[in-house]
């Protein structure tokens, strides 16, 4: 009987602690999502990328670029396919938020290898005929790197 009473108190204490932690996490997460306009990242609107002040330069460059009439940020910086697109957006959103909150990011911002590969694939997808006409066939290491020469096409860096 005594053991059951102690267990019940311990269980109640754990439930209260877990409830408080979950409440804080939900509250902070909701506040951050609303404050950072997280819902806008679910759209295809390039203005969402400029929610973060550090992306303003890239957004302004895109506005002035030739790609403005042909592609949005998501067209070049997210993979095709619903799940892959939103998984990549969630990952990038988390790491961007983490970096900007902690201040642990390279300035000026730099594209990570995984995202660079996505952008390279987007170039190849939209410009397939040009790539096929100029790229040497054969080994993968002979593959041309679109971004090496056309780094500033989508927006200035």
Per-residue pLDDT of the chain (157 residues; tens, 9 = 90+): 566 676 788 788 999 999 999 999 999 989 988 988 888 888 999 998 888 778 888 899 999 988 999 999 999 999 999 999 999 999 998 888 888 889 888 888 888 999 999 999 999 999 999 988 888 776 777 788 998 888 888 887 6
- State pTM to two decimals: 0.75
Give the residue carrying structure tokens 């819902």: 39
In terms of C-beta distances under 8 Å and separation of at least 24 residues, what long-range contacts does 32-37 make, across chains too? 32/97, 36/97
- The per-residue pLDDT for 4 is 64
Rounded distance between C-alpha atoms, residue 134 and residue 127, angstroms: 11
- For the four alpha carbons of 40, 105, 59 and 57, in that order, the dihedral sign comes to positive
What is the DSSP secondary-structure string of 118-133? HHHHHHHHHTHHHHHH
């Amino acid at each position: 009987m005594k053991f059951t009473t102690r267990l019940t108190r311990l269980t109640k204490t754990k439930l209260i602690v877990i409830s408080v932690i979950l409440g804080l996490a939900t509250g902070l997460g909701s506040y951050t999502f609303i404050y950072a306009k997280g819902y806008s990242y679910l759209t295809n609107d390039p203005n969402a990328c400029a929610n973060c002040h550090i992306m303003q330069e890239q957004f302004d460059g895109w506005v002035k670029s030739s790609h403005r009439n042909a592609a949005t940020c998501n067209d070049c910086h997210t993979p095709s396919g619903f799940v892959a697109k939103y998984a990549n957006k969630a990952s990038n959103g988390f790491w961007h938020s983490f970096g900007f909150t902690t201040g642990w990011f390279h300035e000026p911002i730099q594209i990570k290898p995984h995202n660079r590969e996505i952008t390279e694939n987007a170039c190849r997808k939209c410009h397939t005929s040009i790539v096929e006409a100029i790229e040497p066939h054969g080994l993968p290491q002979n593959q041309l790197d679109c971004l090496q020469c056309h780094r500033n096409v989508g927006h200035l860096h």
